[in-house]
Amino acid sequence: MKRHTKLSVNVNKFATIRNARGGNNPDLIQVAKDCERWGAEGITVHPRPDERHIRYQDVYDLKSVVTTEFNIEGYPSPDFIKMIHDIKPEQVTLVPDPPNVLTSNAGWDTEKHLSFLTEIIADLKQSAQRVSVFLEADPRLVKFAKQAGADRIELYTESYAQGYASNRDLAIKPFIETALEAELHQIGLNAGHDLDLNNLHFLSESLPNLLEVSIGHALVCDALYHGLQNTIQMYLSKLSMDV
């Protein structure tokens, strides 16, 4: 029987809504608790230096309430690395995004940055249980992620999401190839970015070694119509064999 792909809810967008008006509505801590209570198997945050959504203090506050997997994404700046050593999360996902980008828009060139990633990953593994590297769907890059010491890769799925409507088989092809390479090198497989209720099940079905997906923006948008509890259940159903 196919194993279940875990759903980690990225709560950045809830923080964006809170920050738009000030105060503490919605309450990010309560949101995280409710996501877990309603079935989420992880909570993801991606703090950025300008704190435009998740604030560094949010990350510290969430550590004491997250009971599933706490996944902290970000660029390994000195402040980010210090935070990881303080919090000791279950998973760190390294993303090569500069401070001014709106959202993550590229994966690591693990060959070009092999030396840098090797040093950073070795440092982070002193505190984090697992380190994942954000990666384009390019089989060639997998072996360098493994050489750098990463436990997992997270496939950057924007190109899949964009191509899904026109030709989903073509869109998924490089992701299947990269997933097979991950199996060959015995490195775990995550995925995230622009995944939604339309394209999620086909991705999960096509990548039998997919361990976890991280979803935020689309999930929050769907929650506006369906409610957060129902939406989490809908996403979980897309990751099951019963669709």
- How far apart are alpha carbons 183 and 215 in whole angstroms? 23
Whether 207 maps to a domain, the answer reads yes
- How far apart are alpha carbons 166 and 64 in whole angstroms? 44
Whether 117 maps to a domain, the answer reads yes
Whether 47 maps to a domain, the answer reads yes
Q: Is 69 a catalytic residue?
A: no
Q: Which residue among 46, 53, 69, 181 is the active-site one?
A: 46
Q: What is the CATH number of the domain that holds 174?
A: 3.20.20.70
What band does 241 get if pLDDT is binned at 50, 70 and 90?
low
Residue 1 scores a pLDDT above 70: no
Q: Is 73 a catalytic residue?
A: yes
Which pLDDT value is given to residue 105? 64
Q: Which residue among 136, 154, 193, 212 is the active-site one?
A: 193
Whether 243 maps to a domain, the answer reads no
Is the CB of residue 210 less than 8 Å from the CB of residue 17? Answer: no
- How far apart are alpha carbons 90 and 45 in whole angstroms? 12
Average pLDDT, the chain: 94
DSSP codes of every residue in 102-156 = SS------TTTTHHHHHHHHHHHTTT-S-EEEEE-S-GGGHHHHHHTT-SEEEEE
Whether 176 maps to a domain, the answer reads yes
Instruction: Give, as one character, the DSSP assignment of residue 178.
Output: H
What band does 243 get if pLDDT is binned at 50, 70 and 90?
very low
Whether 30 maps to a domain, the answer reads yes
Whether 62 maps to a domain, the answer reads yes
Q: Which residue among 36, 69, 73, 154 is the active-site one?
A: 73
Q: Which domain holds residue 25?
A: 6-238
Whether 200 maps to a domain, the answer reads yes
Percent of the chain whose pLDDT exceeds 70: 94
Q: Is 53 a catalytic residue?
A: no
- How far apart are alpha carbons 189 and 197 in whole angstroms? 20
Is the CB of residue 149 less than 8 Å from the CB of residue 128? Answer: no
Q: Is residue 220 classed as helix, strand or coil in its secondary structure?
A: helix
- Number of domains, the chain: 1
- Quick: pLDDT tens for 127-161: 999 999 999 999 999 999 999 999 999 999 999 99
DSSP codes of every residue in 44-112 = EE---TT-SSS-HHHHHHHHTT--SEEEEEE---HHHHHHHHHH--SEEEE----TT-SS------TTT
Is the CB of residue 49 less than 8 Å from the CB of residue 15? Answer: no
